[in-house]
């Protein structure tokens, strides 16, 4: 999916969070957005997803069509998927029940037998305990298990544009590798799927190689480069400028 | 498992040995249940369109787990706990008519434990009142009483929770919590971000609220069927 953000300004209660934000992600591209805490990265992910309570000017287009007037669920059905930093838990609904309900709203709806086979295969690939499927949704799950559960939904719902909001937080080294291996397999099988990785660290970028890296501060993108920019940021922090600009740009 | 359909005005049940019961109440009734000494009981109870008065006595060392779903009903419950008895009562109420509910728990003797979870869903602009009176008498040393209740208002219904604790002993643990409000925005947005529209999210969260905390070894399918197949709105 192609996603284009043009001159985006986002306010929360008169406070400007994103300032004249521009970003173009083409099908198959993997962009990493790095920035210090409170710079608006998670706000950006929620604005793309369609959360209310933000005042917005500018535009967000998916495959050249504005999505600003679409509800959250309509954006999801277009193929936009947000992997949450802190996924919620809901008691009284089983994990498999939630995934089945979400899948049933989509065009690629599966029959029950095929759904179960597919679900169990993905659970096995993610090295999750099968019993988790029948427990309350994320209830009693560790932080890492919740993240795996998010990726399980990716594999089941097959989105076209994935936002990974700090996927690496709460995941141990082994689990991060498992999760990223599964995501990479999915991206290989679906080469038009594009990804926006929001992260503080390069650890995840060692597994999912970005085509573009952006440094974000105070609600806007300051610099764009390749993986070298990420390594520079990790070594020098966000306050120093990266003077070796890569060949790619965000325009 | 013992299945009992209660369609009379009065029903008495004395439970003398460990057992499971599935009760279904479809008429205004007075129900009296006594669980004898050292007996463990697992009970589900489905109540529909009725005003029900239930008195339950737990004798020494008795243990009772109740999972109850009440639809468009009003409940008047009295639990009495003797020495070393245990009560776990998980009730869900959903109504689109006025529903006035009163639950009394009395710990009469020492080392008795009760845990109540009451989840209500007020569908329309009707009343849903839940009064819970927890009483621990003076001789009930080392007893525990826990009450947790919530009402989800789907519209602008008149909902009230009145939790009372009457404690007459220093060496006990007693607490309560109460919440009245809507579904959490965070839960709604999360599910909508997975492609579910507002009605689909409400239906899922309604079911989640009503099954929240239930420990159903059987009758789960029946409960889900009843929740799904009633047109609440």
Instruction: Give residue-wise pLDDT tens across range B127-186.
Output: 999 999 999 999 999 999 999 999 999 999 999 999 999 999 999 999 999 999 999 999
| pLDDT level of residue B221 (50, 70, 90 thresholds) | confident
Q: Which of residues 99-138 of A touch B (CB under 8 A)?
A: 101-102, 105-106
| pLDDT level of residue A247 (50, 70, 90 thresholds) | very low
The yes-or-no verdict on residue A19 having pLDDT over 90 is yes
For residue A182, give Cα distances in angstroms to A7, A114, A126, A131: 34, 20, 7, 20
Question: Contact B194/A87, CB-based, under 8 Å?
Answer: no
If you average pLDDT over residues B194-214, what whole number do you get?
92
What is the model's pTM? 0.86
Give contacts of A93 with chain B, Cβ < 8 Å: 204, 207-208, 211
Higher-pLDDT residue of A7 and A170 is A7
For residue B221, give Cα distances in angstroms to A213, B50, B118, B210, B227: 50, 22, 20, 13, 10
For residue A94, give Cα distances in angstroms to A45, A123, A222, B44: 26, 15, 43, 20
Share of chain A above pLDDT 70, in %: 96
Give contacts of A81 with chain B, Cβ < 8 Å: 193
The yes-or-no verdict on residue B72 having pLDDT over 90 is yes
Closest B-chain CA to A77: B195
> ipTM greater than 0.85, yes or no?
yes
For residue B109, the model assigns a pLDDT of 96
Closest B-chain CA to A79: B195
* Local structure of residue A2 (DSSP, 8 states): -
For residue B83, the model assigns a pLDDT of 97
Instruction: Give residue-wise pLDDT tens across range B89-108.
Output: 999 999 999 999 999 999 99
User: Rounded CA gap, A229 and A207, in Å?
Assistant: 16
Question: Contact A92/B200, CB-based, under 8 Å?
Answer: no
């Amino acid at each position: 999916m192609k996603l284009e953000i043009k001159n985006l300004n986002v306010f929360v209660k008169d406070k400007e969070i994103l300032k004249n934000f521009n970003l173009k992600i083409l099908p198959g591209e993997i962009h990493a957005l790095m920035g210090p805490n409170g710079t608006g990265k998670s706000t950006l992910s929620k604005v793309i997803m369609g959360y209310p309570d933000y005042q917005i000017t500018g535009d967000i287009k998916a495959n050249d069509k504005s999505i600003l007037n679409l509800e959250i669920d309509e954006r999801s059905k277009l193929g936009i998927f947000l992997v949450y930093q802190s996924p919620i838990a809901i008691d009284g609904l089983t994990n498999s029940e939630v995934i089945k309900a979400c899948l049933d709203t989509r065009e690629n709806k599966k029959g029950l037998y095929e759904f179960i086979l597919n679900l169990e295969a993905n659970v096995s690939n993610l090295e999750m305990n099968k019993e988790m499927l029948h427990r309350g949704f994320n209830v009693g799950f560790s932080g890492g298990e919740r993240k795996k559960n998010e990726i399980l939904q990716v594999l089941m719902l097959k989105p076209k544009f994935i936002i990974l909001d700090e996927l690496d937080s709460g995941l141990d080294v082994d689990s991060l590798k498992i999760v990223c291996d599964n995501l990479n397999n999915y991206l290989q099988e679906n080469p038009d799927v594009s990804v926006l990785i929001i992260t503080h660290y390069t650890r995840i970028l060692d597994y999912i190689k970005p085509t573009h890296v952006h440094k974000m501060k105070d609600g806007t993108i300051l610099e764009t480069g390749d993986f070298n920019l990420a390594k520079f940021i990790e070594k020098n922090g966000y306050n120093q400028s990266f003077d070796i600009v890569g060949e790619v740009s965000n325009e | 498992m013992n299945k009992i359909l209660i369609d009379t005005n009065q029903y008495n049940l004395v439970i003398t040995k460990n057992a499971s019961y599935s009760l279904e109440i479809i008429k205004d009734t007075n129900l009296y249940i006594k669980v004898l000494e050292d007996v463990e009981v697992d009970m589900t109870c489905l109540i529909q369109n009725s005003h029900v008065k239930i008195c339950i006595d737990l004798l020494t060392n008795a243990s009772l787990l109740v999972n109850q779903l009440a639809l468009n009903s009003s409940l008047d419950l009295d639990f009495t706990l003797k020495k070393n008895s245990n009560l776990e009562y998980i009730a869900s109420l959903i109504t689109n008519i006025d529903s006035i509910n009163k639950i009394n728990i009395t710990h009469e003797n020492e080392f008795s434990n009760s845990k109540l979870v009451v989840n209500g869903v007020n569908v329309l602009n009707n009343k849903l009142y839940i009064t819970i009176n927890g009483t621990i008498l003076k001789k009930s040393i080392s007893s525990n009483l826990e009450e947790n209740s919530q009402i989800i208002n789907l519209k602008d219904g008149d909902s009230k929770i009145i939790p009372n604790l009457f404690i007459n002993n220093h060496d006990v643990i007693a607490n309560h919590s109460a919440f009245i409000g809507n579904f959490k925005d965070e839960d709604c947005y999360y599910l909508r971000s997975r492609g579910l529209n507002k009605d689909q999210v409400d239906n899922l969260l309604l079911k989640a609220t009503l099954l929240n905390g239930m420990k159903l070894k059987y009758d789960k399918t029946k409960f889900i069927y009843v929740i799904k197949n009633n047109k609440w709105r």
